[in-house]
Amino acid sequence: MSGSPDLPWKVRLFVSSLSFLVDVCRRSNGTFNRTLINLLDVKASPLKKPLNGLQSSDIVVDDSRNLWFRLYTPLQIPTHSRVPVIVYFHGGGFVLMSADSKTHDDFCQRLSRELPAVIVSVNYRLAPENRCPSAFEDGFDVLKFIDSAWFKDLLPVNADLKKCFVAGDSAGGNMAHQVAVKAAKHEFDQLDVVGIMALQPFLGGKERIESEIRLVGAPLINLDRTDWMWKAFLPEGSDRDHPAVNVSGPNSVDISDLKFPATMVVVAGFDPLQDWQKRYYQWLKKQGKEAKLIEYPDAIHGFYIFPELKESSLLIKDMRDFMQSKL
Ligand SMILES: *[C@@H]1O[C@H](CO)[C@@H](O)[C@H](O)[C@H]1NC(C)=O
Ligand SMILES: *[C@@H]1O[C@H](CO)[C@@H](O)[C@H](O)[C@H]1NC(C)=O
Ligand SMILES: *[C@@H]1O[C@H](CO)[C@@H](O)[C@H](O)[C@H]1NC(C)=O
């Protein structure tokens, strides 16, 4: 079987243009042409004034490494209810996209309104200019930053840092895991990470796994591209059994003794990465951690950025259910 479901033409066009551009921009010498990718990766400003019950603004954490986040605050929350905070990491193979990419800005707006939740969408450093572990350090630094006392002044009074989730899609799903591992070893003043939402986390290994081989021709993800991304991201001289890639593999960090939050792992039937993601889920269980696997058989990698796909709405409902089970 080769792999793509029926997709609306707009989705198909966006996905194939993005795949094409990524292939043109990634050079064989390991550098990436950022000028060219910005033709498709359109950027969006924060909201100038509240829109449909939502406000957003950009907050700088460290100018010297361009570390900042976009804060989304839902406005129409009954004063007696507490709103969870989600620290969110965008996808893009650790190489492309940013917190102000229109695709992810739109998605975070939807999440913030529809869940509802306060969202902290992190603009972390990208490869190949900044290799692993820069992105993970940036993610964890944002967690420490929002734990600081003065950050509370930026939050609505009913935002609840004791109900903090880390989440992300694709490379951001991998980051959510890595940042949660760091968080589980740290004492925060106010913040508590109560759950992880890994949406189609970008994981891998040296081995070729069944779904990667079977789903040749699937939208967005193929071995050529993922091999290139890992090479751009990993420290020079590492292979794909590095713990940042083969998270549950032979070099994995042992989390069995950590107080590790519950994880929701989302997989899609047309995503070549799905078998890695299922392995990750099994490994979490083996380590004695609470984990929930959510499968959408007809979905592709990156489906959530297309509100016209039905799984995109299902996902928001499943995220809401998972969060409510942890509140
Ligand atoms: C890689 O190739 C691009 C385009 O061919 C070139 O502009 C760039 O200087 C090269 N970079 C390195 C590090 O070799
Ligand atoms: C990126 O690609 C564009 C279009 O092909 C080209 O004009 C530009 O010179 C490239 N930039 C670099 C830095 O190689
Ligand atoms: C990656 O991790 C898996 C365990 O999830 C392990 O079976 C495998 O040997 C590792 N290495 C490769 C080469 O995939």
Report whether 206 contacts 127 (CB < 8 A): no
For the chain, the average pLDDT equals 94
Task: Ligand 2 pocket test: pick from 35, 37, 129 the residue with the most ligand atoms within 8 Å of its Cβ.
Answer: 35
Considering only CA atoms, which residue is closest to atom 1 of ligand 1? 29
Mean pLDDT of 153-174: 94
The whole-number pLDDT of residue 253 equals: 85
Residues 301-322: tens digit of each pLDDT = 999 999 999 999 999 999 999 9
Residues of the chain with pLDDT > 90: what percent?
Answer: 81
Q: Identify the burial level of 162 via C-beta atoms within 10 angstroms of its C-beta, where 0-12 means exposed, 13-18 middle and 19 or more buried.
A: middle
Integer CA distances (angstroms), 24 to 17, 80, 103, 324, in order: 11, 52, 20, 43
Q: Is the pLDDT of residue 199 over 60?
A: yes
The one catalytic residue in 112, 170, 211, 248 is: 170
Is residue 280 within a helix (H) or strand (E), and if so which, with residue range?
helix 274-286
CA distance 238 to 96: 21
> Quick one: tokens of 122?
């992190």
DSSP 128: T
Residues of the chain with pLDDT > 70: what percent?
Answer: 99
Considering only CA atoms, which residue is closest to atom 8 of ligand 1? 31
